[in-house]
Structure 1
Amino acid sequence: MPKIADAKILIIATHGFEQSELEFPRDQLRVKGAEVHVATLDGKPAKGWEGSDWGREAEADLKIADAKADGYDALVIPGGQINPDLLRVEEDVINLVKAFHDSGKVIAAVCHAPWVLAEAGVAKGRDMTSYHSIKTDIANAGANWKDAEVVTDQGIVTSRQPEDLKAFVSKIAEEIEEGTHPRAAA
């Protein structure tokens, strides 16, 4: 069984990610000993969104197009309204999500980020949660939407909002330590 301290985790983001939804998982997973990389569309730092204005930049380690699922144990997608809406129209993002899904690796999405899972076709038939305003979108993608701080279905971890981040990170670590999760192809 893999240990969180030996895990490699990829966070994907672009401008407009919810500040806490990138920083808290990144920092807390690093505290647990995981190696965490941030990939952006252009491989350059991305600017967060905090409250009602732009926030801090997150450094990038690589371009999303250069990221490979086989190099990581888990994929984390922060929310905010802007970030997942921009990511879900990018072919490289959708292909990466599908690769993580098809290899049975942990995929974690918070707030509006389940939009990306819906676009990649991996929400259908899954128990999931999301920010309440996209509940109908996630249900229309075929998921069984639940109102809970964290919902897990075969290694796919979803949470609703920044207040759920502690439970979100704990569940990511737990799912990584369980190993891969065999799933039907998307």
Structure 2
Amino acid sequence: MSNLNNKKIAVLAADGYEQSELESPVEALKKEGAIVEIISLKSGEIKAMKDHEWSNSVAVDKTVSDAKVSDYDALLLPGGVLNPDAVRADKDAVAFVKEFFTAQKPVAAICHGPQTLINAEVVKGVKMTSFKAISKDLQNAGAEWVDEEVVTDGNLTTSRKPEDLPAFNRRIIEEFGK
């Protein structure tokens, strides 16, 4: 039996999320018994990007303005270019992310997902990784950026790109299950 049985995981995403970076971890978490909810800026559905083209959609379970951090055990921030750009510009979304850190709950972000962490002002002094294109942004925000497949520092786990998903998924199952 997994440590994720009945753990409730919030996945915060918006239109333009990278399809594999949402679908692969969600599938891995559900396989381990986690309850996963998609939280977004709007109700209805959000659309993925795959190979720079619009792709699948997923149903939104709750808008971020209606979601409460106390209802969740952990947070996942998938990447994509458009997705984190929209999420980090939303004050409710940024407050939601910041509250996970205040509550010392596990958070995981992959690829461009860590951009939202910059706006939540939670990266200073934290060892982390991301898609290389945003490494300078993270360093400028005070993060200790490293080019590694998966990095965990305290309650934060980060990864670089879709190719890192197998290692990322294994680590978040471990971290979210603590």
Scaled to the shorter chain, the TM-score interval is over 0.9
Q: Using the alignment, how far apart are the partners of 1:22 and 1:98 within structure 2?
A: 20
- Unaligned 5+ segments in structure 2 are none
Equivalent in the alignment of 1:182: none
C-alpha deviations, 1:14-35, integer Å up to 9, x for none? 1000000011111110011100
Residue of structure 2 equivalent to 1:16: 16
Does structure 2 retain, via aligned residues, the 8 Å contact 1:15–1:82? yes
Distance 1:83 1:21 in 2: 11
Q: What is the CA-CA distance between 1:4 and the residue it aligns to?
A: 1.2
Q: CA deviation at 1:52?
A: 2.0
| Aligned residue-pair number | 177
Letter in 2 for 1:107: V
Structure 1 equivalent of residue 168 of structure 2: 168
Aligned to 1:109: 109
Aligned residue number for residue 51 of structure 1: 51
Fraction of identical pairs, as percent:
43
**Alpha-carbon distance in 2 for matches of 1:92, 1:165:** 28
Query: Residue 125 of structure 1 aligns with which residue?
Result: 125
Assess if the C-alpha contact under 8 Å between 1:43 and 1:64 holds in 2. no
Counterpart of 2:168, as a letter, is F
Distance 2:92 2:152 in 1: 25
Q: Distance in 2 between matches of 1:107 and 1:55?
A: 26
**CA positional deviation for 1:173:** 1.5
CA RMSD, Structure 1 to Structure 2 (Å): 1.1
**Distance in 2 between residues matched to 1:167 and 1:7, nearest whole Å:** 20
Q: Does 1:100 align with 2:109?
A: no
Partner in structure 1 of residue 84 of structure 2: 84
1:142 equivalent to 2:142? Answer: yes
Report if aligned partners of 1:28, 1:169 keep a CA contact under 8 Å in 2: yes
Contact 1:128–1:151 (CA under 8 A) maintained in structure 2: yes
* 3-state DSSP of counterpart to 1:4: coil
Once the 2 structures are TM-superposed, how far is the Cα of residue 76 of structure 1 from its aligned partner? Answer: 0.3
Q: Output the CA distance in 2 between the equivalents of 1:174 and 1:27.
A: 15
Unmatched runs of 5 consecutive residues or more in structure 1 = 179-186
| 4+ residue runs over 6 A deviation | none
TM-score by length of 2: 0.97
Give the TM-score taking structure 1 as reference length.
Answer: 0.93
Q: SS in structure 1 opposite 2:21?
A: helix
